[in-house]
């Protein structure tokens, strides 16, 4: 039996009954990585010995019957989450040899639940990008076709799940960075409500937008991961004291009484016809499952990219000021003065996209421009949030595409940053408004690349998202499909 193909809920059953050991499972996944990693290139750091040690410990707990919800389950982790003793690069030269002295809260939680950490997976540098090509250590590939991007910035997470190089993964989403690669790689990806999951130990990009979430092989696994990582954390002052339900219990059959809004503005000009067809098919399935659909309007959608590309770089320019070559990270040791040392360390350590965003952000926040850019963008952000508030008075979830097109070829848009920014138009609003969103596979393009359907809901309504996603998954019945190109 190929254990690496299975889901958390399938494996946790087998592990619990001792039909499979955590060591056996971890070995199987490591062998799978050995076989396909040359093509996928998902991992920046792989720790086979550490993983096997954790698996042995998990087996003890399983033997004693004390293992947690993820006991013995091998995970990959986006390289932006701090792991005690394991290098955390953020896909950047500037953190190439950074070894965190502590675990992020989510890492602590998955470890407590018994998970086995295989290693750290590739991403756009500091999570800035939509293709993972801005990774200083080379881009991961789309497991469905290695000539194509896997999406980003959590590209390594999505690719490693789709290629069965882990059982599930943790990613982060600042403007679509979980949902978009999940869509491009044909896996499930959830961005929780802002404040639902602690950001402590997540290396900050844009603090008012960043959120950690799971990438999994199916919706049930997504719910199980959410059960483990959600909850208030005193170490993150923006995490919210909100009761955490058992998300798996939300996965009931049937959507009777659920009202699904179809936002007019998300079916934009330039929407790929294959994407539209797959998403419409998904929406029909939601109707067949008992949901009522209604057309709705989010009139400020067209402004979200402009707002995002002021707010996110502004916050990034401030957050990334900490990389100064003094306390951690790369330092240019040839500089004679302090200012030269700052400038040379940062200029040699950061890649082009990161520098571009630092420049945009610094410009937008600089004296004389603040009102015209940052304040204006923050005001339009309020209008975008109010659009959602109004819409969620009349419907439970919104259904739409995740991205306007399927994945494109590597290097195709590398010299045209604005066109890549515009591809985020359908995912950015959720981050600006702080609401949750999920991407669920709903079909394939003619070229055989996956297409996802996005569901969004009001704050802290992840249960509704998971329930709708689960029904969609059961009806479409494509979630078990895997690439034959590996």
Partner 1 sequence: MKITPQEISHVANLARLHLSQEEVEAMARQLDDILTYVAKLNELDTEAVTPTTHAISIVNAFREDEVKPSLSREKALANGPMQNGESFVVPRVI
Active site residue 177: yes
Spatial separation of the C-alpha atoms in residues 86 and 65, rounded to whole Å: 28
Cα 209 to Cα 11, 33, 183, 212, 435, distances in angstroms: 34, 32, 20, 10, 10
CB of 376 to partner 1, least distance (A): 5
> Could you tell me which of 47, 152, 21 has the C-alpha nearest to residue 91?
152
Smaller CB separation from partner 1, 309 or 479: 309
- Residue 216 has which token pair? 């999994």
Give the residue with the Cβ less far from partner 1, 14 or 240. Answer: 240
Minimum CB distance to partner 1 smaller for 31 or for 338:
338
Nearest Cα residue to 460 out of 206, 197, 103: 197
Catalytic residue, from 41, 78, 217, 464: name it: 78
d(Cα 135, Cα 105) in Å, to the nearest integer?
A: 24
Three-state secondary structure along 165-222? Answer: CCCEEEEEECCCCCHHHHHHHCCEEEECCCCCECCCCECCCCCCCCEEEEEECCHHHH
Write down how long the chain is: 486
Tell which residue, 232, 119, 212, has the closest CA to residue 171. 212
CB of 277 to partner 1, least distance (A): 29
Q: Write the DSSP string, 34-51.
A: HHHHHHH--EEEE-HHHH
Residue 187 CA to residue 74 CA, distance in Å, equals: 17
Nearest to 346 by CA among 333, 337, 355, 338: 355
β partners of residue 142? 145
Task: Choose the catalytic residue: 153, 317, 423, 457.
Answer: 153
Catalytic residue among 154, 160, 177, 183: 177
* 278-290 b/e (C-beta count within 10 Å ≥ 16 → b): bbbebbebbeebe
Residue 418 CB, nearest distance to partner 1 (Å)?
Answer: 5
Residue 138 Cβ vs partner 1, minimum distance, rounded to whole Å? 22
Q: Is 367 a catalytic residue?
A: no
Residue 78 falls in the annotated catalytic set: yes
Q: Minimum distance between the CB of residue 133 and partner 1, rounded to whole angstroms?
A: 16
Structure-token pair, residue 468: 């709708």
Question: Closer to partner 1 at the Cβ: 421 or 479?
Answer: 421
The least CB distance from residue 146 to partner 1, in Å, is 29
**CA-CA distance, 289 to 257, in Å (whole number)?**
10
- 309 phi and psi, to 5 degrees? -80, 10
The answer to whether 421 and 131 are in contact (CB under 8 A) is no
Could you tell me the two tokens for 323?
């990389």
- Tell the smallest beta-carbon distance from residue 289 to partner 1 (Å): 30
Beta strand 397-401 with 259-263 is parallel
Taking the complex as a whole, the smallest distance from the CB of residue 369 to partner 1 amounts, in Å, to: 9
Comparison of 256 and 347: residue with beta carbon closer to partner 1: 347
Extract the tokens encoding 393. 């008075």
Shortest distance in whole angstroms from residue 458 CB to partner 1: 11
- For residue 417, give the H/E element and its range: helix 417-422
Active site residues: 78, 153, 177
């Amino acid at each position: 039996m190929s254990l690496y193909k299975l889901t958390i809920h399938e494996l946790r059953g087998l592990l619990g009954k001792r039909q499979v050991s955590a060591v056996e499972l971890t070995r199987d996944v490591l062998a799978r990585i050995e076989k396909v990693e040359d093509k996928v290139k998902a991992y920046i750091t792989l720790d086979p010995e550490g993983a096997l040690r954790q698996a042995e410990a998990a087996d003890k707990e399983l033997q004693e019957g004390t293992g947690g919800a993820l006991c013995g389950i091998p995970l990959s982790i986006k390289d932006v989450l701090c792991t005690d003793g394991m290098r955390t690069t953020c896909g950047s030269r500037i953190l190439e040899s950074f070894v965190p002295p502590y675990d992020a809260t989510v890492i602590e939680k998955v470890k407590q639940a018994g998970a086995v950490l295989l290693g750290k997976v590739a991403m756009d540098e500091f999570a800035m990008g939509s293709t993972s090509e801005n990774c200083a250590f080379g881009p991961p590939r789309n497991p469905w076709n290695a000539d194509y991007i896997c999406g980003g910035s959590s590209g390594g997470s999505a690719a490693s799940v789709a290629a069965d190089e882990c059982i599930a993964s943790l990613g982060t989403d600042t403007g679509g960075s979980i949902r978009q690669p999940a869509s491009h790689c044909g896996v499930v990806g959830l961005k929780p409500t802002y404040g639902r999951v602690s950001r402590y130990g997540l290396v900050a990009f844009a603090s008012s937008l960043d959120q950690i979430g799971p990438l999994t092989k199916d919706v049930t696994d997504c719910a199980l991961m959410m059960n483990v990582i959600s909850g208030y954390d005193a170490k993150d002052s923006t995490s919210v004291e909100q009761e955490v339900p058992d998300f798996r219990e939300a996965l009931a059959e049937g959507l009777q009484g659920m009202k699904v809004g179809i936002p007019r503005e998300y079916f934009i000009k330039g929407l790929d016809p294959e994407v539209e067809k797959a998403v419409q098919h998904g929406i029909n399935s939601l109707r067949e499952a008992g949901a009522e659909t209604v057309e709705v309007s989010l009139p400020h959608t067209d402004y979200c990219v402009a707002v995002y590309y002021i707010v996110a770089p502004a916050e990034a320019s401030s957050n990334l000021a900490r990389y100064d070559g003094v306390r951690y990270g790369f330092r240019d040791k040839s500089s004679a003065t302090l200012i030269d040392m700052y400038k040379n360390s940062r200029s040699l350590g950061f890649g082009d996209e990161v520098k571009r965003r630092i420049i945009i952000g610094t410009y937008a926040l600089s004296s004389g421009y603040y009102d015209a850019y940052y304040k204006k963008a923050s005001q339009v952000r309020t209008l975008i949030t109010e659009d959602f508030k109004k819409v969620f008075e009349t419907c439970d979830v919104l259904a739409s595409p995740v991205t306007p097109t399927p994945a494109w070829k590597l290097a195709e848009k590398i010299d045209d940053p604005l066109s890549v920014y515009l591809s985020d138009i359908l995912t950015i609003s959720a981050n600006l408004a702080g609401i949750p969103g999920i991407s669920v596979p709903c079909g394939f393009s003619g070229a055989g690349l996956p297409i996802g359907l996005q569901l969004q809901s009001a704050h802290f309504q992840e249960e509704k998202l998971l329930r709708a996603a689960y029904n969609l998954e059961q009806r479409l019945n494509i979630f078990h499909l895997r690439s034959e190109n590996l």
